A and B are shown apart, each in its own frame.
Chain A
Amino acid sequence: MFDVKKIRNDFPILSRTINGKPLIYFDNGATTQKPNAVIGTIVKYYSEQNANIHRGVHTLSREATILFEEARKTVAQFINASEEEVIFTAGTTDGINIVANGLNLSDGSEIIITEMEHHSNILPWQLWCERNHGKLKVLPINDDGTLQINKLEQLINSNTRLISVAHVSNTLGVINSIDEIIKIAKFNNVPVLIDGAQAVPHMKVDMKQLGSDFFVFSGHKMYAPTGVGVLWMDKKWLPKLQLSKAGGGTIKTVSFEKTEYAEGALRFEPGTPNIEGVIGLAAAINYINSIGIEHISKHEHTLLKYATEKLNEMPEVEIYANHLDKAAVISFNVKGAHPFDVGTLLDKYGIAVRTGHHCTQPLMKHYNIPGTVRASLAMYNTLEEVNEFIEALQKSIKMLS
């Protein structure tokens, strides 16, 4: 039974007040709050279990190593993948950079992204293109925020080395038809990277079913700590993807003449990893599993539907990608008001939303706007909070007109 009241009690920060009002946290697309299960795991780790992993023979090191490798198992099960394919990173951006720097690209190689991508799925490719005379091609969107998938095949040619696309748009919440994209890519023998940062917290993802080559996501957007993320890659890439970072823990033997690197995920994890982040991520996944990702999806969709209906009743409000085939993200503007003004006033009412371009300036250019106000919801948000938000928005609009 999904009990939002009980869930809220698991998140200590939700009892905070902002400007004397109860915090209404609608900025989950930026980062989610953390449950006691995650906070407690980190406290316990540093209080009782801290040691470096994969190195010592002593008890603490062994215990920490077990925790770390169990976390890999937990992640693998969560996304239905094999453990060896799960690489821990610093986050989504790190994962994309590892792939961008590891693909065997040559002059004239081409990468395809989409118009709605987050800057972190644009800039690593742009950087690579600048350095290597590569070419970045962009799949356009329709005004409703959906991709013009029918144009994908025209962008692919013999120089195409990768299609890199968001599963869910961070700005609009639109869920892309990645199954279709992967199908087209496979037919043309082009690998695919899926940026799953905004998908994993909201819906079931299954690597075996999906069939992409790479899939990246962040811990902090799914109730885990910041600074940890996952790069999943299909087994076949493990020996093929070139290393862009090297260091301790990634090798079999080292000599000044020749170094033999470890096989599997470890070769991509140089240096002491973010151990507390990784076990915090496992704690977050266990927490999500205890509630059930399907229940979370359903609850968030109820919130999305209700908030969208309420906003659509307000003639001053314009929603971008105004439909319900989305994750629980609503990007909107108030006619005649700058998103910054709306966000500033909502904050005074205790409501945290994001304003601005959301690291998607090309998408803002598509709509010809400086930015939007983005309300992004999570499992602990409630219908009552949506009501408060609507009321605060109405007051803000009145003040601004």
Chain B
Amino acid sequence: MTIKEIENEIIEEFEIFGEDWEGKYEHLIDLGKSLPKIKEEYKTEDRLIKGCQSKVWMHSEVKDGKVIYTADSDAIITKGMVALMIRVLSDQKAEDIVKADLEFINKIGLKEHLSPIRANGLVSMIKQMKLDALALSKK
């Protein structure tokens, strides 16, 4: 699936909650429970994403020409956000990752997490994932 296709799938998945934010967050928390996807030995200081109030470890590597992300966090809502980001961006080509506009975050009503002042660092996370993709594609 392309990044856009996965984004649309997630948008549909969240649509059923409508204005019910509690439902949305419960779903997000459930998604968070699917993490960690990262190997324990990768939970190192240098894999921490800067600018998060909670800790987020992110590891990236290239497999068959695609970027694979693995990650974990110590906060469950952040884990949910991380799980969504991995679902959308992992196993994609670096050039597609760098170009992704990630509109789905707005559309599923989690826009507030995109504000840098939320200090949850979703903006930092996206930036790091794109930078990783760029770096890996140049290797």
Q: Please list the residues of chain A having a beta carbon within 8 angstroms of any beta carbon in chain B.
A: 19, 337-338, 340-341, 344-345, 348, 355-356, 370-371, 395, 399-400
Contacts and interface: CB of A to CB of B under 8 A. Distances in A.
Contacts of B21: 19, 348
22 contacts: A19-B21, A338-B54, A338-B74, A338-B76, A340-B75, A340-B77, A340-B120, A341-B54, A341-B76, A341-B78, A344-B77, A344-B120, A345-B25, A345-B77, A348-B21, A348-B22, A356-B53, A356-B119, A370-B74, A395-B22, A399-B26, A400-B29
Contact of B75 (A19, A341, A395, A399): A341
Contacts of A399: 22, 25-26, 29
B93 interface: no
Contact of B76 (A19, A348, A356, A400): A400
A52 B121 CA distance: 42
Interface string B4-29: 00000000000000000110011001
Interface of B: 21-22, 25-26, 29, 53-55, 74-78, 119-120
Contacts of A345: 25, 77
Contacts of A338: 54, 74-76, 78
A356 to B, nearest CB: 5
Given A356-B119, A370-B74, A340 B25 contact: no
A370 B54 contact: yes
Contacts of A337: 76
Contacts of A400: 29, 76
A340 B78 contact: yes
Contacts of A395: 22
A348 B21 CA distance: 8
A370 B78 CA distance: 15
B20 to A, nearest CB: 11
Given A400-B29, A400-B76, A340 B53 contact: yes
A76 to B, nearest CB: 37
A400 B29 CA distance: 7
Nearest to B26: A399
Contacts of B26: 399
B109 to A, nearest CB: 11
A356 B76 CA distance: 15
A371 B75 CA distance: 12
Contacts of B22: 348, 395, 399
Contacts of B119: 356
Residue with the highest number of chain A CB atoms closer than 10 Å, among B25, B53, B119: B53
Given A344-B120, A356-B53, 13 more contacts: A338-B54, A338-B75, A340-B53, A340-B54, A340-B75, A340-B120, A341-B54, A348-B21, A348-B22, A348-B25, A370-B55, A399-B25, A400-B29
Contacts of A340: 53-54, 75, 77-78, 120
A11 B78 CA distance: 34
Residue with the highest number of chain B CB atoms closer than 10 Å, among A340, A345, A370, A371: A340
A212 B29 CA distance: 51
A139 B29 CA distance: 41
B53 A371 contact: yes
A309 B125 CA distance: 39
A375 B21 CA distance: 23
Nearest to A343: B53
Contacts of A371: 53
Q: 9 closest A-B pairs (Cβ-Cβ)?
A: A338-B75, A340-B75, A340-B54, A341-B77, A340-B53, A341-B75, A341-B76, A344-B77, A356-B53
A33 B16 CA distance: 38
A264 B75 CA distance: 52
B18 to A, nearest CB: 14
Contacts of B55: 370
A338 B77 CA distance: 9
Contacts of A348: 21-22, 25
Residue with the highest number of chain B CB atoms closer than 10 Å, among A19, A341, A348, A400: A341
B94 to A, nearest CB: 30
A395 B23 CA distance: 12
